[in-house]
Structure 1
Amino acid sequence: MYLNCHTYYSLRYGTIKPERLLAIASKNGIKTLALTDINNTSACLDFVRLSKEYSIKPVLGIDFRNGAQQQFVLLAKNNKGFQNINAYLSKFLHDNHLEIPKKAPELEHTYVIYPYQQHNNFKLKPNEFLGIKPEDLNKLKFSQWNNLRSKLVVLKTVSFETKKDFNTHRLLRAIDNNTLLSKLPKSEEGKPNDKILPYDELCETYQEFPELLDNTLAILNNCTIAFDFSQETPNNQKSFTENEDSDYELLKKLTYEGLTYRYKNPDDTIHNRIKKELDIIKSKGFVSYFLINWRILEYARSKGYYYVGRGSGANSVVAYLLRITDVDPIELDLYFERFINLYRKNPPDFDIDFSWTDRDDITDFIFKTFKNTALLTVYNTFKFKASVRELGKVFGLPKAEMDVLTRGRYNINQLDKLSQLVLRYSTYIQGFPNYLGIHASGIIISEKPIHYYTATFLPPKGYATTHFDMVVAEDIGLYKFDILSQRGLGKIKDAVNIVAYNNPKVSPIDIHDIERFKKDENIKYLLRNAKAIGCFYVESPAMRMLLKKLQVDDYLGLVAASSIIRPGVAKSGMMREYILRHRYPERIKKAHPVLLDIMPETYGVMVYQEDVIKVAHIFGGLDLGQADKLRRGMSGKFRSRDEFLAVKQQFFDNCKASGKPEALTAEVWRQTESFAGYAFAKGHSASYAVESYQSLFLKAYYPLEYMVATINNFGGFYRTELYVHEARMHGGIIEAPCINTSFSQAIIRGKTIYLGFMFLHALEAKTIENILIKRQQNGAFKSLDDFIDRVPISIEQISILIKINTFRFTGINKRELLWEAHLKISKTTFETHIITLFKAEKINYSTPALPSTALENAFDEIELLGFPLCNPFHLLETPTSNPLRAKHLINFNNKIITIEGYLVATKNTKTSNGKKMHFGTFLDHDGNFIDTVHFPPVAAKYPFRGKGIYTITGKVLIEFDCVNIEVQCLERSTIIEDPRYALKSSNSTFQNKKSFADHKANHLSPMSPKILSHSKAYDNH
């Protein structure tokens, strides 16, 4: 009898979780229920999937509203009707200018329910009805509609379960309307009694109008919706060619054509693996999936795009031969069943990484090439801190009070009632969907129209996006194509091009010659010594330390390290155990024989996701389907589902039946569970290692060019400053931007690197474009006057260029140039030059001699680039006399030392009992790394105080050749006063106001429109 029910996917309106709605209905004796979320279909498929568990017949529809104003409800008679409704809603979600009309369209296979209207000249079509709410019944008795009961139905809206839900609803409506709760219009709210009534009570409410009950029941009985969640066959595009048979022939042809490219002498092992994989791919219906991926990457290669195919797809030799991946699964003995197996019902996926500059074109190609295509959504939910701020605004709390609440610095008993309400309801709405976003990479290509499953919305990217997420997509058999972007590939691609223009005599680089890279001694040296700054996935402080501890210098070692670094392995305690067994082989004897036999390559330690399947299958006695379900369940997406819990129980039962000690079973389960959700598939790690080798090769042989590419792609783990420093450590000469040499990005000439204009804070893109166009059209600028003549520019913009010394080619001090620019450029809004026949004669002003120092230049660089181009230790107020350097620490194991370091990176984490601690990365005076650990007492007493040079006192700890300082005291050193704004005269004091005024005129005005405190400016950077 319920035709209008909402879940919390009626965004910022409803309050009930989909499964909870079914549970409430079942408890109240409801046998059929219509889900009609407001302008949203996110819950629909899950609602249908879960309804069987509650013995409820599901009906799907949509509540069409403008804001809170209900226009009509559309119900689907069947799947075709649901498709029509989805397509209709999507028109409005694709164009925000459209408003939902009061009159519903004529859609086949649908019912229309209008809210009650008193006048009866409202013509109703055969499939249209008027909904009567309980509060409308008295009006109905005296209305002419009372004589047309055949067109009337029960319209009992359901949005809440409890009074608290209704209060939450009002808060959500206030958030949605961006208004104080006290000013929320009643028209924007639902009714407090919009709750489910027991079936008998609802019938009793309408007992005077039995026709309404009959009509409602007839509609519900006439609606049937069904989706197949068995996943026996995929619902993606069925065939790539004309039919599935020709698809298979094409896949087989392409696979065997790839043999000559990948293998010189393919043996029986390879041929048998190919046959096995092709048979499974065909039997599982994944042929078109492979071919679509092949077509996408064929297009990418035709455009010269770099890409990396990774994830469990790298376990497939067919994918390797189709050039979807660059990982040889035969060489690595990769477990194909991790990707696809006969027992696996859920669909596989490939993760394809592209350069961040190429990804959009690939996405565009996919949407233009394949018919039924959409991006997948993600549910952006209310997070606690954001909820506190939103509700704080709704209740009218001052910002200062909201800051106290979000930081957690309060005693709950000392807060006023409003603040307590904010905290209470912030906790309640935490996890509620707030709005729909875009999945980082997921694209689906279905056989049926996308609207068969869902409505779509149109985010700024301009591509239709589903209302359901990747988990629901998998449930319904729609496996996604993961098209991701990363800057690592952009760095590699750009570096190859930079090497070509800076070293024209060097032969073209084959960056895909991974086999050669694996044997290269220079690359091995970089790996063993963790000299990998800028290199993909191996440059972070944690990875640098791990490489040192493992002394990795080969491909398989790097593959293992790529997975060991993941949080799960460390959490399980097996990272340390792996290091111990790697460094001290005698310790391998301590491994349990069964585990060592399962995982000999990793010394009996679980390192990869495949290990979970192997342990579950061999140790736990599960079949491959159950083992993979267990592995997937541990990822967190399905952990609470009954099927996962049943498999977990089966694991323990099998171990007990086979006589394994309970303690051993519990320990194996603990290790497995603690890291399985975070560990990589081995093929995934192997794919990462391939990209690491490519970047390591470039770093080993062309470090300056590679650093330029890294800088231009906005770095990696660290800020730009560290990559500039790394280039200097490799002999690079770093130059600030030059008006006649620099471009938007950094460039290199020999060993000299000119930073690009784009790195200057507040320099506008239009200014950069004008400079480059004018320089290309008429050559280099000859003087400041020549520049001002040719480039339309404001005084604010040219001041940036002068202060960073881009006009140094003139030989004129930049302070004098600033005076000249101020005199020659109007401070009013500058308009584009109008070309005239004759040039006006330039007035030459005489400017005073105003020298600037290297220190002043450094502070200009800090202001405009974010960092100085000199050694930051030169900016200390009191130069350090401490001779201790990072390279000396190896000689001070377990000794207390004091050393100075320039902070470049921090990592904040928590101990097992929730206390804050930190890891720090510093540079010493010579530019070498210092790594520190700050345990909770020290972290609380000596917090980091922003960027700068710190005096570090602590104990040197050396483990596995890796040096750390356990910090006991941390103090930031004082830097010199900003010389640009310091008061100075020949006598170092000012004798009178006039001398101060003269100083101000000479030293302040041309430099900046307002005087900045250096310490603040430096801290902010």
Structure 2
Amino acid sequence: MYLNCHTYFSLRYGTIKPEQLLAIASENGVQTLALTDINSTSACLDVMRLSKKYKIKSVLGVDFRNRAKQQFILIAKNNNGFHSINNYLSKFLHNSDLQIPERPDEAIQDSFVIYPYQSGKDFELKPNEFLGITPQNLNRLKFSKWNQFKHKLVVLKTVSFQNKKGFNTHRLLRAIDNNTLLSKLPKSEEGSENDVMLPYNELCETYAEFPKLISNTEQLLQRCKTDFNFENVAPKNQKCLTDNETSDYQLLKQLTYDGIPYRYGTDVEQKVYDRIEKELNIIKQQNFVSYFLINWKILKYARSKDYYYVGRGSGANSIIAYLLRITDVDPIELDLYFERFINLFRQNPPDFDLDFSWRDRDDITNYIFKTFKHTALIAVYNTFKFKASVRELGKVFGLPKAEMDKLTRGKYKLNQLDKLSQLVIKYATYIQGFPNYLGIHAGGILISEQPIHYYCATFMPPKGFATTQFDMVVAEDIGLYKFDILSQRGLGKIKEAVEIIDANYTEQPPIDIHDIKGFKKDERIKDLLRNAKAIGCFYVESPAMRMLLKKLQVDNYLGLVAASSIIRPGVAKSGMMREYILRYRYPEKRKEAHPVLQKIMPETYGIMVYQEDVIKVAHLFGGLDLGESDMLRRGMSGKFRSRDEFLKVKQKFFDNCIKDGKPEALVADVWRQIESFAGYAFAKGHSASYAVESYQSLFLKAYYPLEYMTATINNFGGFYSTELYVHEARMHNATIEAPCINRSFNQAIIKGTTIYLGFMFLQSLESKTIHRILNEREKNGTFQSLDDFIERVPISIEQISILIKINAFRFTNINKRELLWEAHLKISKTVIQDDVITLFKTQRINYNTPELPSTDLENAFDSIELLGFSLCNPFFLLEKPSISNLRAKHLIKLENKLIIIEGYLITTKNTKTANGKIMHFGTFLDRDGDFLDTVHFPPIAAKYPFRGKGIYSIIGKVMVEFDCVTIEVSKMERLAIIEDPRYAVKSLNPTFQNKRSFTDLKRAIS
């Protein structure tokens, strides 16, 4: 009976959650409803999946509107009709310039069309077209010509909200969407307060005078049946890469055996062949053959373009993936658990996360869309966040900015706020989590056997690739499993570093960056790992990882693989990180492991470190079968973590263990560890893939630190800001030069041991200015003077001032203050245009400018303004001399001593204690450039907060644990730096003087 139901995926209009819509319908005795969100199919599959739970038949369609104005409703008779509707809607979603017409295309198949009743319009309705009569239209209908054509009329009772609060929320959402005050929201942009669901009997009573409308509506709904199978979901990805499944399997088998010499040489152990046969059989049985082949084809293209990539995810446990060069992880060497990668209970294919350089990924995506017929990116639902909602609603209610700032900071007591502010908080809380707009998943791509529009409509974001209207969870519910094409800067760093090295060391053979076996034995790399000197290196440079490596003193591949997973929240929060460190460093502690756990996980001393450890323990310790263990795997998966897979098997785990005679306390502790993995952990193959990339970057850092840091700077670093990577290069004896007109390029370059920063690091320097400089220099050689530069490069005074202030004209040996005067006198303030070549050059007038020396301090402040950091030691800028001679290297001998030391803040990490109080971890540099690590417990964190970038005086107790030093802070304050000399009264720099005095002086010089 309900042909026009909206969820909150009618973005910024509807206010009902998809499952809530079904619950409301069930409560009201409604057995059939049509889900017709406004220009959206996001909720369709989810509602279909949940309908069985509420014993409701769901019909699918779309409410086509231009903003809030309803044009017509299309309802699918069957799956083909839904496909046709999605094709039609996508046409408008791909082109925002198109307006939805009053009537749909005739080409739409297997669908019903329902028009809103509009008095005075002459409709010639086709057999599949009907006129929708709302309760408000009933009296008017009695006197309308349509009263004579009741067979073409249906009930149109729109459902957009549940109650009055829902309607109020709807109006607020419409005001946000229209960017207007609530009081100025046009009635035409909002729905009716009556757009709520009535009990089925009450709706029938409303239309009792027109029983034909009720029967028409029921017959229409009865004729509709869309069906998507959500049980025992077989993969619906592209079925074959070749002509058929048989030839696909033959190709996979051939590629597998062809890959053996490359990976294992000629002396191959029998267990390699055994593993291959086992995997091939189960991959075929589970219909995952094409999934492997598609990944192989994508990466074959990547290698043809010389793109660096890393294949990771649970698929890295597969020897087939290793032999097809999808991953670089040998599951035989690492003894990777086959059942984590795949088993007969697993319905979805294993994960392959394919990482590419951020420079290469778009081309890979473009290749996929060109190569595979039915392809789309996956959407994410960008939801209303509380603080953003407070601001949006504050604007709707007309609150002043100061009041909105107070509300977003949480500095208020609710009962002391005025009525409007209370409403803002009330409704911001209510809409928190509502979808606001659709975005793009970080890397998920669907490659489907059926056209994507068989499942949903697509929209076209600025990226230029068709994108689904549902997210990856809905996609997997229907059997569409994504291919993850991701980007990371680590690969860009590695590739660029290799290019720089090959260009600068032409006399030596090219680097084989894929010689991982050699890297694992390299003593320099071992030394970097043991001493945690890995700044700039992928995944091992963060403060937490740096400290973990130091505690473990790990210097081998397997140790690094374990560390990559131990650092994850699941292991860390369970308390097993500390236990692992103890057992790693002190072999006698390993005896404390339970014998069964020690046997299951000998490599990690009986401690669960990887996701597959959970499956092993559940299966071998807890007596669960592999199907039940696979539930735990899904429970550990980020996308399903909110579901209750863990709870489904918890009781059976306990019952099995108690029946087997295991102590209750032990069983409870093991289950506690298992549950902690719901808070993230890595599969071992995934960690091993990360470790491979870590070794590549560690090799470059060990042997070519300056080239590697140059590449790191150009790829915008990693965990830290550019400033720290510049500092790290300096710590390896590099000379850092500010951008230079004649030597610098867009990116940083290295000449010997000198790194010239690139123009792209100058804030506010326009890309067109950089292009003009480099283009002119390439064509006609270096610049000889400021006059020569001005003559050859069209540039504004604002842009040349940036270059002069960063001292980019230092080759002239003229003080930059004098150059600024000259530039102001010689450059016109007219619109800049490219120079026209003339026969004769105009002789420029040279003015006698005053001698205006600049200082190193002024240079430092200029670089802070233009680069974001100083090129000098920041400690030189302190207002008062240092009162402490302590350095980081002294602290190891001062355990439990109260000390005072100064540190330059690099980064902070905020976290919460078990009782929800805020605490911090800080990372600083001392005066020598070495790291200081601090811990700020809640009372100190509240009393002495961080106050932004700068140098801090830190008082605290030195703590040493596993040779790793931290300072437990008891007091902290940021130290004052000297006054910026550029703004001092005595400054004569023309860029900082008032306009009148500069004009007067210019006139006087002229």
Q: What is the TM-score of this pair, normalised by structure 1?
A: 0.96
8 Å contact kept, 1:38–1:62: yes
Q: How does 1:160-559 map to 2 (within 5 A)?
A: 160-264=161-265, 265-559=267-561
Residue matched to 2:729: 727
Give the match's secondary structure for 1:844. Answer: coil
8 Å contact kept, 1:571–1:675: no
Residue matched to 1:798: 800
Give me the whole-angstrom Cα distance separating, in 1, the residues matched to 2:955 and 2:94. Answer: 59
Residue matched to 1:28: 28
8 Å contact kept, 2:69–2:189: yes
**Shift, 1:546, TM fit:** 0.2
Greater alpha carbon shift after TM alignment, 367-376 vs 425-434:
425-434
**Shift, 1:657, TM fit:** 3.6
Give the match's secondary structure for 2:728. Answer: helix
Residue matched to 2:1003: none
Residue matched to 1:988: none
**Shift, 1:37, TM fit:** 0.7
Q: Deviations over 1:338-385 (max 9, x none)?
A: 122111112332100000000000000000110000000011111111
Q: Percent identity?
A: 76
Give me the whole-angstrom Cα distance separating, in 1, the residues matched to 2:98 and 2:502. Answer: 53
Q: Deviations over 1:608-649 (max 9, x none)?
A: 111111111122222112111122124464456576643333
Residue matched to 1:57: 57
Greater alpha carbon shift after TM alignment, 246-255 vs 844-853:
844-853
Greater alpha carbon shift after TM alignment, 13-22 vs 312-321:
13-22
Change (3 A) 1:598 1:681: same
Give me the whole-angstrom Cα distance separating, in 2, the residues matched to 1:331 and 1:267. Answer: 11
8 Å contact kept, 2:566–2:609: yes
Give me the whole-angstrom Cα distance separating, in 2, the residues matched to 1:487 and 1:636. Answer: 23
Give me the whole-angstrom Cα distance separating, in 2, the residues matched to 1:76 and 1:879. Answer: 78
Q: What is the TM-score of this pair, normalised by structure 2?
A: 0.97
Residue 136 (structure 1) aligned with residue 137 (structure 2)? yes
RMSD: 1.5
Give me the whole-angstrom Cα distance separating, in 1, the residues matched to 2:891 and 2:242. Answer: 65
Q: Deviations over 1:677-702 (max 9, x none)?
A: 41011111000000000000000000
Change (3 A) 1:648 1:1010: farther
Q: How many residues align?
A: 994
Residue matched to 1:125: 126
Q: Deviations over 1:719-738 (max 9, x none)?
A: 11111111111111111111
Q: Deviations over 1:143-191 (max 9, x none)?
A: 1101100000111111111221111111111111111111112222222
Give me the whole-angstrom Cα distance separating, in 2, the residues matched to 1:97 and 1:73. Answer: 21
Give me the whole-angstrom Cα distance separating, in 2, the residues matched to 1:819 and 1:656. Answer: 86
**Shift, 1:828, TM fit:** 3.0
Q: Deviations over 1:211-247 (max 9, x none)?
A: 1111111111100110122344211111001111111
Q: How does 1:913-952 map to 2 (within 5 A)?
A: 913-952=915-954
Q: Deviations over 1:898-936 (max 9, x none)?
A: 111111111112212222211111111111111111111
Change (3 A) 1:749 1:639: closer
**Shift, 1:978, TM fit:** 1.8
Equivalent AA in structure 1 for residue 334 of structure 2? L
Structure 1 residues not aligned, in runs of 5+: 985-999, 1012-1021
Residue matched to 1:68: 68
Residue matched to 2:878: 876
The match for 2:828 among 826, 829, 840 is 826
Greater alpha carbon shift after TM alignment, 844-853 vs 506-515:
844-853
8 Å contact kept, 1:307–1:353: yes
Equivalent AA in structure 1 for residue 682 of structure 2? F
The match for 1:903 among 905, 910, 919 is 905
The match for 1:597 among 573, 589, 599 is 599
Give the match's secondary structure for 1:434. Answer: strand
8 Å contact kept, 2:632–2:645: no
**Shift, 1:198, TM fit:** 1.7
8 Å contact kept, 2:310–2:327: yes
Q: Deviations over 1:252-277 (max 9, x none)?
A: 11111100000022211000101111
Give the match's secondary structure for 2:983. Answer: coil
Give the match's secondary structure for 1:748. Answer: strand
Change (3 A) 1:473 1:209: same
Equivalent AA in structure 1 for residue 237 of structure 2? N
8 Å contact kept, 2:233–2:478: no
Change (3 A) 1:203 1:736: same
Give me the whole-angstrom Cα distance separating, in 1, the residues matched to 2:648 and 2:979. Answer: 68
Residue matched to 2:999: none
Residue matched to 1:761: 763
8 Å contact kept, 1:119–1:144: no
Residue matched to 1:989: none
Change (3 A) 1:1007 1:319: same
Give the match's secondary structure for 1:319. Answer: helix
Give me the whole-angstrom Cα distance separating, in 1, the residues matched to 2:727 and 2:747. Answer: 17
Q: Deviations over 1:315-353 (max 9, x none)?
A: 000000000000101111111221221111123321000
**Shift, 1:400, TM fit:** 1.0
Q: Deviations over 1:528-553 (max 9, x none)?
A: 00000000000011110000000110
Give me the whole-angstrom Cα distance separating, in 1, the residues matched to 2:109 and 2:897. Answer: 82
The match for 2:893 among 891, 895, 901 is 891
Residue matched to 2:580: 578
Change (3 A) 1:926 1:217: same
Greater alpha carbon shift after TM alignment, 909-918 vs 765-774:
909-918
Give me the whole-angstrom Cα distance separating, in 1, the residues matched to 2:325 and 2:803. Answer: 47
Give the match's secondary structure for 2:172. Answer: helix
Give the match's secondary structure for 1:524. Answer: helix
Give me the whole-angstrom Cα distance separating, in 2, the residues matched to 1:691 and 1:9. Answer: 41
8 Å contact kept, 1:346–1:475: no
Residue matched to 1:1018: none
Give me the whole-angstrom Cα distance separating, in 1, the residues matched to 2:557 and 2:862. Answer: 45
Give the match's secondary structure for 2:981. Answer: coil
8 Å contact kept, 1:638–1:644: no
8 Å contact kept, 2:634–2:645: no
**Shift, 1:755, TM fit:** 0.7
Give me the whole-angstrom Cα distance separating, in 2, the residues matched to 1:644 and 1:524. Answer: 39
8 Å contact kept, 2:569–2:679: no
Give the match's secondary structure for 1:330. Answer: coil
8 Å contact kept, 2:331–2:685: yes
Q: Deviations over 1:93-129 (max 9, x none)?
A: 0000011111122211000011112236211000000
8 Å contact kept, 1:45–1:472: yes
Change (3 A) 1:465 1:587: same
Give me the whole-angstrom Cα distance separating, in 2, the residues matched to 1:315 and 1:1009. Answer: 68
Q: Deviations over 1:656-685 (max 9, x none)?
A: 443434333322221111233410111110
Give me the whole-angstrom Cα distance separating, in 2, the residues matched to 1:835 and 1:881. Answer: 62
8 Å contact kept, 1:367–1:373: yes
Equivalent AA in structure 1 for residue 989 of structure 2? L
Equivalent AA in structure 2 for residue 906 of structure 1? T
Give me the whole-angstrom Cα distance separating, in 2, the residues matched to 1:885 and 1:313. Answer: 46
Change (3 A) 1:920 1:838: same
Residue matched to 1:711: 713
Give the match's secondary structure for 1:792. Answer: coil
8 Å contact kept, 1:639–1:645: no
Give me the whole-angstrom Cα distance separating, in 2, the residues matched to 1:330 and 1:66. Answer: 59
Q: Deviations over 1:877-898 (max 9, x none)?
A: 2222522111000110000011
Give the match's secondary structure for 1:329. Answer: coil
Greater alpha carbon shift after TM alignment, 232-241 vs 352-361:
232-241
Residue matched to 1:990: none
Equivalent AA in structure 2 for residue 267 of structure 1? E
